[in-house]
Amino acid sequence: MRAHIKALMAALAAEGWSVHYGDATGVQSFPYVLLWSTVGDDDVEVPMADDGGWSDLIGVTVVDTTPLNTVGSAQKVRDMLDGLLLTVPDRHAILHLRKGLGQSVQVDRDVTITGTNTHPCYVVERYLLTSQPI
């Protein structure tokens, strides 16, 4: 899973996104993407054969300054990630948006944007990562 996460982070960074994994404490530059996952091999989708393939869900949280900015940023991330083929050695790994597993835009009232009296907003989506040996 580690190689898959690194490939996903690199793909987002190559498109100009500030990307973090697991924790974004103290980040004050918006927008950004926070990725999170299990350690891998959870087989969300039952494999047809024991061929070394596996699947798991990847959490993608998009954070921005206002609800509408968050919706716009989340759509850009969605357009990029849905169907993205990850560059992972000796694997064919692809992401697909799992509709119905996300959350609506929320205001993070535990964080105040520096120099303002406003709070960032976020939206959570889940992607199915499937990985097969090649």
pTM above 0.85, yes or no: yes
Please give the single-letter amino acid code of residue 93. Answer: A
pLDDT in tens, 60-88: 999 999 999 999 999 999 999 999 999 99
Is the four-CA dihedral 46, 103, 61, 79 of positive or negative sign?
A: positive
Question: Among candidates 22, 28, 4, 30, which has minimal Cα distance to 60?
Answer: 22
Measure the CA angle with vertex 123, ends 56 and 74; round to 5°. 90
Q: How far is CA 125 from the centre of its chain?
A: 7
pLDDT digits (tens, 9 = 90+) for 90-108: 999 999 999 888 899 999 9
Measured CA to CA, the distance from residue 41 to residue 98 in angstroms comes to 18
